[in-house]
Chain A
Amino acid sequence: GNSVTQMEGPVTLSEEAFLTINCTYTATGYPSLFWYVQYPGEGLQLLLKATKADDKGSNKGFEATYRKETTSFHLEKGSVQVSDSAVYFCALRRLSSGGGADGLTFGKGTHLIIQP
């Protein structure tokens, strides 16, 4: 079955530090990959996506590259801010053969804490 593994948290960094959150996946076929962010008391928001191998998703300074050879989708940001403090989820979605869509499979989440 499908699964997503991401690094355990919490991850604590100082403002302007470089961020990497590792994510690896197991899936048949060619899934689409996503990073979602969840701020306290809010629902999940799509941060970025990649739908095929070697695609790079980017948004708000965050980037992640779909690496099929290593089945990875690591999240990176060059200089984090206090406002980036949140829980980050890596997820995948595999299209079913009938043309419909499988539900999202999420990792357990990584709590990121940025200190001033």
Chain B
Amino acid sequence: DAGVTQSPTHLIKTRGQQVTLRCSPKSGHDTVSWYQQALGQGPQFIFQYYEEEERQRGNFPDRFSGHQFPNYSSELNVNALLLGDSALYLCASKRWGANYGYTFGSGTRLTVV
């Protein structure tokens, strides 16, 4: 049973560009959350999607947007990239309403140059 799958694994972008990261949740999970983990820091919550709607958002600017598809997979889009957006982006999935049981992917390492 596959866990959470994220693509690509690594990505290098230029400042000002746009990027799309992808996530396939664990089988049976319908809720997807995205986190940003800067080097040496803990993950920071970006937003959560359920039933193709953004349900909750952390303290991130509108440059960060997302989407969830009918098959529960999700995309994270970041526009007008800044050097400070360089980080590991983690996707986590679970069943809606579960208090725990998050499964995390291995992440996408984004480097902005």
Contacts and interface: CB of A to CB of B under 8 A. Distances in A.
B72 interface: no
Contacts of A43: 4, 90, 104-107
A44 B96 CA distance: 19
Given A43-B4, A43-B90, A104 B99 contact: no
Interface residues on A, range: 20 to 34
B100 A44 contact: no
A25 interface: no
Given A41-B106, A108-B42, A101 B97 contact: yes
Contacts, number: 68
Instruction: Determine the main DSSP class of B at the interface with A.
Output: loop
A49 B90 CA distance: 20
Interface residues of B, number: 28
Contact of A89 (B42, B45, B96, B105): B42
A35 B16 CA distance: 36
A104 B48 CA distance: 10
Contacts of B102: 46, 104
B56 A44 contact: no
Contacts of A102: 45, 56
A80 B106 CA distance: 25
Contacts of B55: 100
Interface string A85-104: 00001010101100111111
B56 A108 contact: no
Contacts of A34: 100
Interface of A: 4, 32, 34, 36, 41-46, 49, 51, 89, 91, 93, 95-96, 99-109
30 contacts: A4-B42, A43-B106, A44-B92, A44-B104, A45-B104, A46-B100, A46-B101, A49-B100, A51-B99, A51-B100, A93-B100, A95-B99, A96-B56, A100-B56, A100-B97, A101-B48, A101-B56, A101-B97, A101-B99, A103-B45, A103-B48, A103-B56, A103-B58, A104-B33, A104-B102, A106-B42, A106-B44, A107-B42, A109-B40, A109-B41
